[in-house]
Amino acid sequence: MRARDLAEPFPVVTDRMDALEATRILTDQALPGLVVLDEQGAPLVVLAASEVLRFAIPDYIEEDPALAAVIPEDEADQLCRQLAGHTVAALMPALDQGRRRPVVDANATVMQIASVMSEQRSPVVAVTDGDEVLGVITVHRLLGVLLP
């Protein structure tokens, strides 16, 4: 089994898209993450759902998680307001962190796919054939076909 056989269609999200809108796609389709494409349609980065949360949380809470508890409930409920007015680009982790993109070649075996997912801790990988993105493979899909 190769990556091209497992690739599923995916919603197109670009780095210019509104952050709230992109997050809504994530929740509506119950995706574990989004493949963000650049202008040319090349995969830029795979944005895990948890990374969207990281953006919505104030930095001081990331620095000191104990502070999460002191925020009153009604304000905590408004967490996603933070996303308003930002583009997907703002949500993306810095690309210069030497982090490799979770992308696999169309010919990759499941072992390769699993290895990329595990190493990059990414719940979803993009499948590419040259410059073209064929689709995505989620961790659920992969495990689903692999389970004996």
Residues that bind another protein (CB under 8 A): 51, 54-55, 58-61, 63-64, 66-67, 69-72, 75, 78, 81-82, 84-86, 89-91, 93-94, 96-97
Composition of the chain by helix, strand, coil, percent to 5: 45, 25, 35
Q: How far is the CB of 121 from another protein (least distance, A)?
A: 15
C-alpha span between 87 and 76 (Å, rounded): 22
Q: How far is the CB of 69 from another protein (least distance, A)?
A: 4
Q: How far is the CB of 14 from another protein (least distance, A)?
A: 16
Closer residue to another protein (CB): 102 or 134: 102
Closer residue to another protein (CB): 31 or 83: 83
Structure tokens that stand for 86 in this block: 């930002």
Helices assigned H by DSSP within 35-138: 49-56, 59-63, 73-76, 88-91, 110-120
Closer residue to another protein (CB): 41 or 58: 58
Residue 9 Cα distances to 48, 49, 54, 91, 101, angstroms: 17, 18, 26, 23, 19
Provide the residue type at 54 as one letter: R
C-alpha span between 80 and 17 (Å, rounded): 16
Q: Which residue's structure tokens are 């996303």?
A: 83
Closer residue to another protein (CB): 28 or 74: 74
